[in-house]
Structure 1
Amino acid sequence: MLRMYVRLEVARMASDKRFLILMLAMPVAMYLLFTNLFGEANNRPANGLPPDVGAMVSMAAFGAIGAVLTATGPRIAQERTTGWMRQLRIMPVTIRAVLAGKVLAAMVWALPAIILVFGAAVLDHGVSLSVAQWLEIGGLLWIGAAPFAALGVLIGYLTDDASAFPVLYGVYLFLGAVGGLWMPVDVLPTALQHIAHVLPSNRVAEFGWTIAAGHRPPLAGTAILLGWLGAFAGLAALAYRRGAAR
């Protein structure tokens, strides 16, 4: 049942051309903008990496986050408005299966978002890493998108069709800007630097930055991401139950 539900969700997302263009093309465009238009003004190493490599990891993470957020929040809010979620509640599908299906379907779209940014970095800047580094960075960025998929589900159950996208987009921009994906954390005000280090967006990108630099990701980052995943998933389940009780 779960496998069929995930396939249905992926197929429905694939039919949304606006989603595909916005969330899959935007991180590539931002990578090219940051590394070409602003390249001369921002030509110092970021996160211990050459600008082209650091920006590649940042925008791949940003793309994965945006893909899973957009694939969950606005769609769920719309489904609640049209009555699709009420139909799911009368079907033999558990809360866990519904939430897991939404998260897994959203995760499918994180992978092309990552690969497209990688491709732009190779084609436009000749970025070269070992096969192991490519696979590790891509795999960890993909897995690290799970907390954001759960966050998108939560937003979808807390908002309505009109407010879901503005709320989600505001959260998305905050996670990118303050999480250090648009600029190195060390250039942010001190207070924001402290916030950045506990944000899941910063910790996801940290996986890629450290591997590209030839190091292993710190365990603290993994623990923080798991904590965010548990918190978002738990809150999403509560929001789902609250909606079902109405």
Structure 2
Amino acid sequence: MNTLALPARPNPMRAYLLEIRNEFMRLLRSPSFAVPTLVFPPMFYLLFAIVLNHKGGPQVATHLLATYGVFGVMAPGLFGFGVAIAMDRERGFLALKRAQPVPAGAVLLSRMAMAMVFAVGISLLLLAIGMALGGVRLSAMQAVTLVLVDMIGVLPFCAIGLFVGSLASGQGAPAVVNMIYLPMAFLAGLWMPLSMLPSIVGTLAPLWPAHHLAQIALQVVGATSDGRAGLHVAVLALYGIVFFLAARRRLARG
């Protein structure tokens, strides 16, 4: 008796993995994004924490390891989402994906995964420079925790970037992201301690998500921080949820 073979059930996990693979290949073919994202934070860290650090020694190098790590992981979240989503939306790529049999959220998940991969790469490069050249001394647990903080800490910036990408045009998105990225890095005290900046900057620093991620990273490496890691985690989670929901609502309107 002949029986008709039932069609194989689609495997959602395979679809997600293929989307992540495609995103990885796309970034490999776009060195204009990958190279600056990976090279600039270690280059700046090498300059300010090693070459120009004549008096601070390992203490300053350790402090800047935490803050420049945050500076580094902001980029793949903001640029990887803000610019890429704006261009994809403008070219109709997102509408095309919605029309295909692709699991909901596969595009966003793949880009989040790549942002986290870049965050890990940046964190490891900074650790290598700090420990080899800057006299930074961290335990294995501290080093692993710092990498995890940077890896997970990229997610709120992915949400902010997604919101920017839902609003800005493909040509305007890079300028908008830069207007967020660089001022926030300065005002959050990532380039130099807040104690060296005008008091108003320190007063307003808690407004910026980069400040909260930096406080967590500083606590991990044993540098001076306010010690309120739980509060900072909650604020970062709030930023991520609010901007993700706002971007989702905007994108749903087309």
Question: Cα offset for 1:126?
Answer: 3.0
Provide the C-alpha distance between the structure 1 equivalents of 2:116 and 2:145, rounded to a whole number of angstroms: 17
Q: Which residue of 2 aligns with 1:22?
A: 36
**Percent identity between the aligned chains?**
26
Question: Cα offset for 1:222?
Answer: 0.8
Q: Which residue of 2 aligns with 1:8?
A: 22
**Could you say what secondary structure the match of 1:145 adopts?**
helix
Question: Cα offset for 1:44?
Answer: 4.9
Provide the C-alpha distance between the structure 2 equivalents of 1:231 and 1:213, rounded to a whole number of angstroms: 31
Structure 1 runs, 4 residues or longer, greater than 6 Å off: none
Q: Is the contact made by 1:80 and 1:86 (CA closer than 8 Å) also made in structure 2?
A: yes
Provide the C-alpha distance between the structure 2 equivalents of 1:130 and 1:105, rounded to a whole number of angstroms: 27
Q: State the structure with more CA Rg.
A: 2
**Could you say what secondary structure the match of 1:144 adopts?**
helix
Q: Which residue of 1 aligns with 2:75?
A: 66
Q: Which residue of 1 aligns with 2:7?
A: none
Which one is further off, 74-83 or 167-176?
74-83
Question: Cα offset for 1:12?
Answer: 0.9
Where does 1:84-99 land on structure 2 (aligned, <5 Å)?
A: 84-93=93-102, 95-99=104-108
Which one is further off, 17-26 or 211-220?
211-220
Q: Is the contact made by 1:67 and 1:113 (CA closer than 8 Å) also made in structure 2?
A: no
Provide the C-alpha distance between the structure 2 equivalents of 1:73 and 1:90, rounded to a whole number of angstroms: 22
Q: Is the contact made by 1:24 and 1:67 (CA closer than 8 Å) also made in structure 2?
A: no
Q: Which residue of 2 aligns with 1:233?
A: 244
TM-score (norm 1): 0.88
Which of 210, 216, 224 is 2:235 aligned to?
224
Which of 46, 54, 64 is 1:32 aligned to?
46
Which one is further off, 15-24 or 87-96?
87-96
Q: Calculate the aligned-residue CA RMSD, in Å.
A: 2.1
Code of the aligned partner of 1:50: Q
Provide the C-alpha distance between the structure 2 equivalents of 1:132 and 1:106, rounded to a whole number of angstroms: 23
Question: Relative to 1, partners in 2 of residues 1:140 and 1:217: Cα closer, same or farther, differing over 3 Å?
Answer: farther
Code of the aligned partner of 2:25: A
**Number of residue pairs aligned between Structure 1 and Structure 2:** 238
Q: Is the contact made by 2:74 and 2:154 (CA closer than 8 Å) also made in structure 1?
A: yes
Q: Is the contact made by 1:200 and 1:228 (CA closer than 8 Å) also made in structure 2?
A: yes
1:9-33 deviations in Å (ceiling 9; x for gaps): 1221122111121111000111012
Which one is further off, 88-97 or 78-87?
88-97
Q: Which residue of 2 aligns with 1:188?
A: 197
Question: Relative to 1, partners in 2 of residues 1:131 and 1:229: Cα closer, same or farther, differing over 3 Å?
Answer: same
Q: Is the contact made by 1:23 and 1:63 (CA closer than 8 Å) also made in structure 2?
A: yes
TM-score (norm 2): 0.86
Code of the aligned partner of 1:238: R
Provide the C-alpha distance between the structure 2 equivalents of 1:192 and 1:127, rounded to a whole number of angstroms: 28
